[in-house]
Each structure stands twice: as structure tokens, then as C-alpha cells.
């Protein structure tokens, strides 16, 4: 899947002064599933604390935290309109859809 695949220059170098926006204190242990959309918004899921957090570009403060109904999320995907699909299958055996600003998910696939 090459959704929003970046194009790197052959001369690209890492920025030695990059900003750390999240660590194990922020996301907990066993972080799985990181997704970056076309606006450079970062979505990261933590299996260890059953949470998805969302950061806007250039921010170290999450703008959204999703926890309701999650148990060990492994991966996620975000559509162009901001819908978040979360692999909530570890114990729940399903994929959940979160629309922007929703307070509850909608089950979209069940095992």
C-alpha cells in the first residue's frame, strides 16, 4: 500500500535536531501501528495501554486520544476524510471505525 508514500531525495539526510513528540511514557509499552496522513498528522496505537493517540504536524501534545472499546490494537488506517479504521481484533475480534469527533466506534468487520 503506497498511500502518502514520501519521495526522498537521493541526498536526503536526517535532521540531528529533530523533535521527539512521543515516547514510552506518552504511548506506553508495545506501540504498534503508526500512520501519517497527507496533512502529516500522526496516528499511533499502543497495544500495551489499548489507546490510539493523534498529533498534528509539529505538535508534541495529542489532539485526540481514543480508548473506548479497544483491547490491544495492532494496526490502523486513516482515510482521506479522517475516518480511522482500527484493528481491534486481539480480544474483540473486529475492525472498528472512528469518524472525526466521534465518541463511540462503529464495528465494520467481525471475525
Query: 32-110 has which fold?
Result: Thrombin, subunit H (2.40.10)
Q: Which among 63, 66, 62, 73 is positioned nearest to 104, based on CA atoms?
A: 66
The pLDDT score that the predictor gives to residue 29 is 84
Three-state SS annotation for 27-49: HCCCEEEEEECCCCCEEEEECCC
Instruction: Dump pLDDT digits (tens) for 24-58.
Output: 888 888 888 899 988 889 999 988 899 999 999 98
The pLDDT score that the predictor gives to residue 69 is 86
Which one is predicted more confidently, 53 or 20?
53
Instruction: Dump pLDDT digits (tens) for 79-108.
Output: 989 999 999 888 888 999 999 988 888 888
Amino acid at each position: 500500500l503506497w498511500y502518502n508514500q514520501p519521495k526522498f531525495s537521493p541526498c536526503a539526510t536526517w535532521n540531528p535536531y529533530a523533535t521527539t513528540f512521543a515516547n514510552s511514557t506518552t504511548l506506553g509499552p508495545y506501540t504498534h501501528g503508526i500512520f501519517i496522513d497527507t496533512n502529516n498528522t500522526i496516528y499511533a496505537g499502543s497495544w500495551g495501554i489499548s489507546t490510539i493517540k493523534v498529533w498534528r504536524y509539529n505538535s508534541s501534545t495529542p489532539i485526540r486520544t481514543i480508548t473506548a472499546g479497544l483491547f490491544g490494537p495492532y494496526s490502523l488506517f486513516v482515510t482521506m476524510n479522517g475516518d480511522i479504521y482500527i484493528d481491534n481484533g486481539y480480544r474483540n475480534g473486529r475492525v472498528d471505525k472512528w469518524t472525526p469527533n466521534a465518541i463511540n466506534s462503529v464495528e465494520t468487520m467481525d471475525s
